[in-house]
Amino acid sequence: MSRKVRRVRYEIDSKGIKSLPLDEIKAILRGADDLIMKGGRSLRARILKGSRAQDVLKLGLEQSPV
């Protein structure tokens, strides 16, 4: 018998941005590579915003070149 999975609904507000330059997309993906097996969506958002949160500092992710 399979377990029922509850999905969390969310919406992303693009604030009017229709597209990104290719170099910015590459930088975001390069930064996401550092996060594999370390964190999820919220940690990724904190890093992209330049946060100095405790979990970012503990994992050393503020050292990321992107």
> What pLDDT, on the 0 to 100 scale, is given for residue 5?
85
Residues 20-54 have pLDDT tens digits of 899 988 887 887 777 777 777 787 777 777 778 88
pLDDT above 80: residue 63: no
Q: Is the pTM of this model over 0.75?
A: no
Q: So where are the chain's domains?
A: 22-63
> What pLDDT, on the 0 to 100 scale, is given for residue 36?
73
> What pLDDT, on the 0 to 100 scale, is given for residue 2?
75
Instruction: Tally the C-alpha atoms within 13 A of residue 52's C-alpha that lie toward its C-beta.
Output: 0
> What pLDDT, on the 0 to 100 scale, is given for residue 1?
64
Q: What does the alpha-carbon distance between residue 27 and residue 23 come to, in Å, rounded to a whole number?
A: 6
